[in-house]
Every structure is written in structure tokens, then in C-alpha cells.
Amino acid sequence: MHDIKAEKNGLRAEFLSKRRAIPVDIKKELDRRICENVINCRSYKYYDTILLFAALPDEPDLSALAEKALSDGKRVAYPRCIPGTRDMRFHFVTDLSQLKQGSYGIYEPDADLPVFDTSAQSCSLCIIPAVISDKAGYRIGYGGGYYDRFLNKFGGAAATAVYSGFVKDAVPHGKYDKKADMIITEGGIYQIV
């Protein structure tokens, strides 16, 4: 019997180790290019809402994208884990100083900030963290399933943000794993067909 969980755990450990080994100056350049690729893509101007994640130290830092989106008049939201569940809600911020360290050491918006309504009509982009992604849009995250649950209700475009060396032909996935619509790397944005 094929053990998807064990295979995912092995890949997660391997690629987290590789990601943590990226020198700080190289990582900053990769992060800058990922943000620029989003800002310079043709569809950026059509998004009125961008859902982001507050990066852990070794994840792609998208704060430059958040700052640009806010200055362009777009609505920007970050996730907040709901205690006692494996769900999260995105809350709108008007400034990145509104993010405070919360669950799992991740920076989150305050619970009192306005909530993104998944049923509202908007042209939204949700950028999802990934340890590793594949060319079909499947990703391996941290194993909690938070984003898979959220994407079940989300009607906008979903993209993984990952360094190009962390995109493989295929990664193991189960029936509850949700695919992204695109992959954003420092080398470009790749639409999933």
C-alpha cells in the first residue's frame, strides 16, 4: 500500500532543509523577483483583493507585494487560525504593522479586523505558502490542511509561491488536496492547464 502521508513527510523534511540552507542575500533577491512577477503580470491590475501569508523566516517574503497592493488601492488580507479548529479566516489589513505574532509563531491580523467574505463577488487572488509544489498545481505545505479547507470555499484564483528549485514534476497528493491555478516563482508565473 502506498503511504502518501509518509512520502509527504519525507519530501517536506527534505525541502524544508534545502529552503533553510538558502543564503539570506540570495533569498532576498528571489523574494524580490517573486513579488515583481506578480506586480508585473497582466492580471494583477484586475485583482481587487489579494490574500497573502505572513512568511516564516525561510518562506518567500511577500511583504513588498503587500505594500505595493495597498498603495495601488487593493484590499489585502492575511489569515488567522481559528482556535480549536483547522480552519482560518482572512482579515483585511491597511498596514503590515497590524500583523502580530499568533498561532505557531505566524504573524496574524487581529480578530477584530474586517473579515474577507468567501461568498462575496470579488476578483481575488490567494497566494498560498508551499514547501514544494508540482507542475499540476498540487503542493505540500505543513500538513495541517488549513489552505485546502479554505480553498473549498474560495472562488478566486489560487497560486502557490515557491522558489523554482522547489517545483517538481509531481508530488504525492490525496483526494482532499486542492490544486492551485498557478505557480509563482522567481522565474515567472506558470498557469496550470
Cell representation of residue 125: 487572488
Mean pLDDT of 80-98: 92
**Residue 71 contacts residue 174 (beta carbons within 8 Å):** no
What's the pTM?
Answer: 0.94
Percent of the chain with pLDDT over 70: 98
Mean pLDDT of 72-81: 96
Cell representation of residue 21: 540552507
- The residue among 33, 6, 13 whose CA lies nearest residue 131 is 13
Cell representation of residue 68: 505595493
pLDDT in tens, 132-175: 999 999 999 988 889 999 999 999 999 999 999 999 999 999 88
67: helix, strand or coil: helix
Domains of the chain: 4-191 (3.40.50.10420)
What DSSP string runs through 173-188? Answer: --TTPPPPSEEEETTE
Mean pLDDT of 92-105: 91
pLDDT at 116 over 90: yes
Give the separation between CA 63 and CA 48, rounded to whole angstroms.
17
